Structure 1
Amino acid sequence: MTTTASGRRTGRASTIALKLLMAVTGVVFVLYVLVHMYGNLMAFGGQETFDTYAHHLRELLTPMLPYGGFLWVMRVVLVASLVGHAGAAFALWSRANKARDQRYVVKKAVRATLSSRTMRWGGVALLAFVVFHLLHLTTHTIDPAGTGGDSPYLRLVEGFELWWVTLIYLVAMVALGMHLRHGAFSALQTLGLTSTKKRYRIAQGFGLTLAIVIAGGFSLVPLSVLVGIIQ
């Protein structure tokens, strides 16, 4: 009995650790997408503004780091966070499947939201989009417009002028918004900030607001390109 109780305590502790890992790596991603969204909105300032911003990103922390070094450090942090986030999510999902009984299923089915039910598949969709996005605008491996230009602004605009590229992006933003809504709430719940009804509602509202601001902010640029506001 002692061994069983010790095993349960160890299991609970590791589950808490996995949830904390998801929360911390989730915060890293939220901070990144906020900065990235701000950078994307520079496109409303025109080609010179956007290209200058992209150039300055590569000069950050020089000469301590080589040209573009900061971006590589950031990419390493993001990849490490992605591995930790995805690994923790898979481990928690696997444990939940093993521990779930019929009563638990019924209880969760009543309270589950669309965002919570699509977290895993939404995460997979976002991962696929990130790969496409990097191949398009970072490595230039994919060039839908067929221009092959060096200007970040022109590559962005000419890409989003294609309706199907914009559609892929907007679908990904829907997935991002749903992921952020439930993820932000879950992170606050893990940190013990939803203990009362008022805090629970605030956490729900925070998740929804964050999702609308970030997904909506990212969607402004491709939609503006498609309708001709950004040219």
Structure 2
Amino acid sequence: MHWTTDQITPSVGRVVVTRTRSPIRSNVGLKAVMAVTGIVLVLFLIAHMLGNLKIFTGAVSFNHYAEWLRELGAPLLPGVWALWILRIGLVVAVVAHIWAATTLAVRARAARPVRYAHRSKVQGSYAARTMRWGGVIILLFVIYHILDLTTGTLNPVGDPTRPYANVVADFAPERWYVTLFYTLAIVTIGFHLRHGVFSALRSLGQQTPRGERRARAVALVFAVALCAGYLVVPFAVLTGLVS
């Protein structure tokens, strides 16, 4: 927080202390943080989904892909440093996204006039009303996902040299609760994507009735496609298609 003391009231000759927020904590700055982190997360989700789908090419191909990821950045960076930098960056992006969204929501609520008893409640979309708690679910999912399929701490196999076996063991029929939690998290991400992509398209000028319908359709198709791309893997293991 920056303090300024250069405003003086002429009539009383006293110093008036005002508070100004840093640019990043202003509403514009917070929206910029949401936009940048949102783009980063969407790009990651697309790349990660495409990588996951390689499991349908077989164990050898999938394990080779995982090995390539572990060697990313070599020889500039030793070991799996590059991969861990990406993982830490992902967690930071998720936390920053939630922080910016929550701060903006609190400020918006505080700026509303006092509600009267006769005032009707404004109903938003399901995605808009669940963005806050949905963000917490996604954050917990990211943490669990790292402990499960990255470090292997919570995985039945937990062998970094056998990623194909890790995935198959993770979504085995007897671990249905893992698949259920994974599905819940992915569907929540889908609602976030639908709401976020729609809002982004409206901000880019799609504000006419026809433009809004087009934006809603694009956002829905994108969210459904991404969710399907993620969910097809655990359900393929669950049904025995991948084993």
Q: 1:155 aligns with which of 166, 172, 192?
A: 166
* 1:199 to 2:211 alignment: yes
Q: 2:37 aligns with which of 25, 30, 46?
A: 25
Distance 2:213 2:34 in 1: 21
User: Given the two structures, how large is their TM-score scaled by the length of structure 1?
Assistant: 0.86
* 1:46 to 2:58 alignment: yes
Native 8 Å contact 2:54 2:62 kept in 1: yes
Quick check: which one's strand share is greater? 2
2:4 corresponds in structure 1 to none
Distance 1:184 1:132 in 2: 26
The amino acid of 1:152's aligned partner reads P
Native 8 Å contact 1:22 1:89 kept in 2: yes
2:197 corresponds in structure 1 to 184
Distance 1:126 1:55 in 2: 26
The amino acid of 1:229's aligned partner reads L
Native 8 Å contact 1:193 1:200 kept in 2: no
1:211 corresponds in structure 2 to 223
Q: Which has the larger radius of gyration?
A: 2
Provide closer, same or farther for how the CA distance between residues 32 and 200 of structure 1 changes in structure 2, counting only shifts above 3 A: same
- Alignment partner of 1:149: what SS? coil
2:91 corresponds in structure 1 to 79
- Alignment partner of 1:219: what SS? helix
RMSD: 2.6
* % same residue: 43
Runs of 4+ in 1 over 3 A off after TM superposition: 105-108, 147-150
Provide closer, same or farther for how the CA distance between residues 25 and 148 of structure 1 changes in structure 2, counting only shifts above 3 A: closer
Distance 2:158 2:140 in 1: 23
Alignment of 1:20-169 (within 5 A): 20-101=32-113, 102=115, 106=120, 108-109=122-123, 112-143=124-155, 145=156, 147-150=157-160, 151-161=162-172, 162-169=175-182
Distance 1:230 1:57 in 2: 22
